[in-house]
Structure 1
């Protein structure tokens, strides 16, 4: 068998299950907060690649993404609480993709500020953005580790749990 991705055994001293629950709750809270901010303020949302779309279309796309985040984070919580791996998997897959997207977004935004000679803002975006990326990756790592722990426990047979001496 190939080498497995290294797993963590706890979430900053808490059990992995607690860390996975925190990840799900955090996703829901941040998505709801962002939805409220978008719906109550005139926030300019800019895309990196598809910059020709009207602001209203981009806003609708972001709102749909936030609603999907709430749904997938809720599935994660249900999966953690019921020990059902299949409910956890959408969050695990989506979150690692979002981590990659966040890194690209942070770097793009920092470079954009740098080009426009907002040097301090550029550095702040880069440092704070990468700190958020690190937290996000850690949350993913904890949740993925809990997923793998459940998977390992589910794959055990009664014979591997207790030795049989006949």
Structure 2
């Protein structure tokens, strides 16, 4: 069986601690979520024009409903990022876990989204936007994946410091 510790990081960006990198990931997720909510609201008000689509839901939901769904998802991301920050400060594995799980799923979703969007541009003979989307999307994907790996490494480090599994109790500890 493969050793999962071989894939984990010891530092963030070669010189910062995993704790610092995890805090940056949490704060960055909050900032990007708030920025995206602002863009969606401005789009809903007609101040800017941004085409917002979802891969599966576009065929039977209106753009307004899709935008509401995205705002709700971004609010959940903000809540989970706050839990991540608090969990990082308190070194609490259980507060880190929701963000780590969501982040792992979003890594896959981001890659699929980048590829499908680029293919859509290419299929519409828009090679410039397809190429730009593919290049910039893959850069964002690699940065996001790295920040998730930093967070996961910190999560694993805290979990391992406990010296036992997440659901076991110390049989020699007495509760008085």
User: Which stretch shows the higher mean deviation, 8-17 or 36-45?
Assistant: 36-45
Unmatched runs of 5 consecutive residues or more in structure 2: 165-176
**Structure 1 residue 2, shift from structure 2 partner:** 4.9
Match of 2:158 among 150, 158, 163: 150
**Structure 1 residue 100, shift from structure 2 partner:** 0.4
Counterpart Cα distance in 2 of 1:146 and 1:33: 26
Counterpart Cα distance in 2 of 1:57 and 1:30: 21
- 1:161 equivalent in structure 2: none
**Structure 1 residue 3, shift from structure 2 partner:** 2.2
- 1:164 equivalent in structure 2: none
Question: Which structure 1 residue ranges, 4+ long, deviate > 2 Å from structure 2?
Answer: 41-44
Match of 1:116 among 106, 124, 130: 124
- 1:72 equivalent in structure 2: 80
Counterpart Cα distance in 1 of 2:148 and 2:34: 20
Number of aligned positions between the proteins: 156
TM-score by length of 1: 0.90
User: Which stretch shows the higher mean deviation, 43-52 or 130-139?
Assistant: 43-52
User: Which stretch shows the higher mean deviation, 49-58 or 123-132?
Assistant: 49-58
CA RMSD of aligned residues (A): 1.3
- 2:173 equivalent in structure 1: none
- 1:44 equivalent in structure 2: 51
Counterpart Cα distance in 2 of 1:148 and 1:105: 28
Counterpart Cα distance in 1 of 2:97 and 2:137: 26
Unmatched runs of 5 consecutive residues or more in structure 1: 157-166
- 1:4 equivalent in structure 2: 4
